[in-house]
Amino acid sequence: MRIVGGQRRGLRLADVGAGDMAAHLRPTPDRVREAIFNILASDPDRNLVSGARVLDLFAGTGALGLEALSRGAIHVTFVEDGAAGHALIRENIERMHATGDTRLYRRDATRMGPNRGAPFTLVFLDPPYGQGLGEQALASARDGGWITADAMIVWEENAPMHAPDGFSVTGHRRYGETHVTFLRADQGQVPV
């Protein structure tokens, strides 16, 4: 696994092999990450990564958030409650020399609580597949003031996802068994 674009392109991240299913670690393949970031960079209104504040929920290895940093995001907050994932993210942050641009929380993404800082403009959501945790995490992030009123959400699952209340689907892509659904927070539905 490596960073596929931006300033740190080619940087090798900590190896997890095929993933750790017991820890729900299922790294997003390089080609899928590259496709996601190409879509985000091609938004007709603006590049959604450059200058973004990123929230990486169910962060796993941290590869999506670190890819965003490499491509111009200004800050990434990682949320991962598993010990194995937390350790991998910490190692990957160190490999990227990104300690000053990141924050790492070990907590349940479905119970975020109130945000005490600035909200996030870009959210990566990669929950364990098929358990309904994505909907819960989005509701928690929205209700806690973690996301901006027009945030872009990139949601990986094993099927296309429907928009929960307060969000609208803007696109969908399939990469083998991985489905990526793009959502926008509905302005006025997200506390500011």
Q: What residues have CB less than 8 Å from 65, skipping those under 6 apart?
A: 54, 56, 59, 73, 76, 77, 78, 102, 124
Give how far the C-alpha of residue 157 lies from the chain's centroid of Cα atoms, to the nearest Å: 12
What pLDDT is stored for residue 190 in this prediction?
43
* Digitized pLDDT (tens) for each residue of the chain, 192 residues in all: 888 888 888 899 887 754 455 545 667 778 888 999 999 988 767 789 999 999 999 999 999 999 999 999 999 999 999 888 899 999 999 999 999 999 999 999 999 999 999 999 999 999 988 888 999 999 999 999 999 999 999 999 999 999 988 899 999 999 988 999 999 988 654 443
Give the per-residue pLDDT at 28.
78
Q: What pLDDT does 191 receive?
A: 41
Query: Measured at the alpha carbon of residue 62, what is the angle toward residues 42 and 19, in degrees to the nearest 5?
Result: 110
- Residue 15: the pLDDT is 77
Per-residue confidence (pLDDT) for residue 192, from 0 to 100: 37
**Could you tell me the pTM of the whole model?**
0.91
SS (H, E, C) the chain: CECCCCCCCCCECCCCCCCEHHHCECCCCHHHHHHHHHHHHCCCCCCCCCCCEEEEECCCCCHHHHHHHHCCCCEEEEECCCHHHHHHHHHHHHHHCCHHHEEEECCCCCCCCCCCCCCEEEEEECCCCCCCHHHHHHHHHHHCCCEEEEEEEEEEECCCCCCCCCEEEEEEEEECCEEEEEEEECCCCCCC
Q: Which residues on neighbouring strands pair with residue 187, listed in sequence order? A: none
Tokens encoding 108: 């349940």
The domain limits of the chain are: 21-185
Per-residue confidence (pLDDT) for residue 17, from 0 to 100: 52
What pLDDT shows up at residue 22? 52
Specify whether domain 21-185 bears CATH 3.40.50.150. yes
Distance CA 55, CA 146 (A): 8
